[in-house]
Structure 1
Amino acid sequence: MSLDLFKMNILYDYYGSLLTDKQREIFKMHYLNDYSLGEISQSLNISRQGVYDTLKRAEATLKFYEEKLELIKKHDILTKKVEKINELLDNLYLHVQSEEISKMIQEIKTILNELNQ
């Protein structure tokens, strides 16, 4: 999967519901089902240029929302912080003598992993 395809699919996961019905339909056909512009054009009975324009508007809309809301960026930052906390807890767990503290560490790790899903 190319980086652009991967990025578009991630953007769609976050912001796809903000697209128009037609944009969502064309986006899914192209990026999720791997239809060519010509195949989409034939299937929807619209011009190839119309498909191209709608797809480009959908891509621009998805990028616009990420620029403004930064949900993907924030998720990535949160994920890295959770991973770091998990590493620290793993290290702490190795040095703990108390079973009670060990259980608390495991509980904290469980909660962190639930938050990170």
Structure 2
Amino acid sequence: MIENLSKVEYASLLYDFYGELLDENKKEIMNLYHEDNLSLAEIAEDLGQSRQGVHYTLKKAEKSLEKYEERLGLVRKYLENLRKYQQVEQIAEKYRKDDSLDEGVRQDIRVLTDMIKDLME
């Protein structure tokens, strides 16, 4: 599933999971770039830094986040669980639409998929 993400999407996920582990400067630049979608030039202007300095800090922050992921694997586990949830949802959808099943069974399937969805949030 990671292979289906763009570099920016992957970096944003890494930031969501590990961003609080960054120092304030890196965290601010990552937030402005990935969350606020500002360009490097806009960030540089806002922070009174050079564009090259912002780019360097952004790349350094992304490397730090990648190292956290290598050690902890939280994003990989999350994406694996998301893929499994999507598979469960596809199977459950098939049974929710099956009129030959007892309504109680269909309701149980809804409850189970809702529980799994809650675990993913």
| TM-score class, shorter | 0.7 to 0.9
Q: Does structure 2 conserve the Cα–Cα contact (< 8 Å) formed by 1:41 and 1:47?
A: yes
Q: What root-mean-square deviation, in Å, do the aligned CA atoms of Structure 1 and Structure 2 show?
A: 2.5
Query: C-alpha distance in 1, partners of 2:46/2:93?
Result: 54
Percent of aligned pairs with the same residue? 30
Runs of 4+ in 1 over 6 A off after TM superposition: none
Q: Structure 1 52/96 Cα, relative in aligned 2: closer, same or farther at 3 Å?
A: same
Counterpart of 2:23? 20
Give the count of matched residue pairs. 115
Counterpart of 1:82? 85
Query: C-alpha distance in 2, partners of 1:9/1:97?
Result: 42
How do 1:97-112 and structure 2 match up within 5 A?
97-112=101-116
1:22-68 per-residue CA deviation (whole Å, 9 max, x = no partner) reads: 1111222334342325x544443445554333222211101111121
Unaligned runs of 5+ in 2: none
Query: C-alpha distance in 2, partners of 1:48/1:97?
Result: 62
Query: C-alpha distance in 2, partners of 1:43/1:12?
Result: 21
Unaligned runs of 5+ in 1: none
Answer yes or no: is 1:115 the counterpart of 2:119.
Answer: yes
Answer yes or no: is 1:55 the counterpart of 2:55.
Answer: no
Counterpart AA for 2:65: L
If the length of structure 2 is used for normalisation, what is the TM-score? 0.75
How do 1:34-45 and structure 2 match up within 5 A?
34-37=38-41, 39-45=42-48
Tell me the CA shift for residue 88 of structure 1: 2.2
If the length of structure 1 is used for normalisation, what is the TM-score? 0.77
Query: C-alpha distance in 2, partners of 1:85/1:47?
Result: 48
Q: Structure 1 101/54 Cα, relative in aligned 2: closer, same or farther at 3 Å?
A: same
Q: Does structure 2 conserve the Cα–Cα contact (< 8 Å) formed by 1:96 and 1:102?
A: no
Query: C-alpha distance in 1, partners of 2:79/2:58?
Result: 26
* 3-state DSSP of counterpart to 2:32: helix
